[in-house]
Amino acid sequence: TVGVAVWGPDDLEPLLINPFEKFPMQSVFKLHLAMLVLHQVDQGKLDLNQTVIVNRAKVLQNTWAPIMKAYQGDEFSVPVQQLLQYSVSHSDNVACDLLFELVGGPAALHDYIQSMGIKETAVVANEAQMHADDQVQYQNWTSMKGAAEILKKFEQKTQLSETSQALLWKWMVETTTGPERLKGLLPAGTVVAHKTGTSGIKAGKTAATNDLGIILLPDGRPLLVAVFVKDSAESSRTNEAIIAQVAQTAYQFELK
């Protein structure tokens, strides 16, 4: 199943394909989480420079976590700003769960998303819980409307301070994951602030191949696109190509 949301700069509401379907977000929720952390920074509850002690033996093992290679020692301290950068730009699972601990867990993130008026998105589990049980990922879901709405909230710059907004934008533009997804078929040099989500493959099926983001048109206006591919038996190459084709089509349509 492929879910699509496209929200052009002149559109009052997004174009949705498969609007009633629930899609597992996987790491896409790291965008929502970063917004909550930065919101708490703006409120003075957290500080970007405060450090978190990381105990190598206690964090999630055997997972995607480039931060664990960047730091040496059995125990080390990482500033919140660094955790955010790793979680957003590199989709780091250990950094993600450490951020969850700071804000009060998945329930706190769920409440924050609801408080923004986004009703068709749910978060109940962190990365460790998703890793422990393959089915849990489906409980961290969004509809395509929910996906469009979080992009719009971010793009409208109403949720965060100017400093926090600029940081999150920078980290999303610097995303290293999924270069063949939204960005895959766009002209070289196109600015795309995006967040990917990817599941493992089980019994030949990939539960989630996702990307959502803000594509800047040549005139600087924002084009919001989200494409989620659910329970696909295709190769990851094919799943990513679907996302790239949707983004390219939306981009070319806006240029007309």
Write out pLDDT tens, residues 27-80.
999 999 999 999 999 999 999 999 999 999 999 999 999 999 999 999 999 999
**Among the options 27, 89, 143, 199, which is catalytic?**
27
Active site residue 143: no
How far from the centroid of its chain's Cα atoms is residue 238's Cα? Answer: 21
Confidence band for 114, pLDDT divided at 50, 70 and 90: very high
The verdict on pTM exceeding 0.85 is: yes
Residue ranges making up the domain that contains 127: 2-255
Domain count, the chain: 1
CATH number of the CATH domain containing 109 = 3.40.710.10
CA 150 to each of CA 103, 142, 166, 183: distance values in angstroms, whole numbers, following the listed order: 19, 10, 16, 19
Mind listing the pLDDT tens digit for each residue in 179-231?
Answer: 999 999 999 999 999 999 999 999 999 999 999 999 999 999 999 999 999 99
Across the strands, what pairs with 205? 202
How many other CB atoms sit within 10 Å of the CB of residue 135? Answer: 10
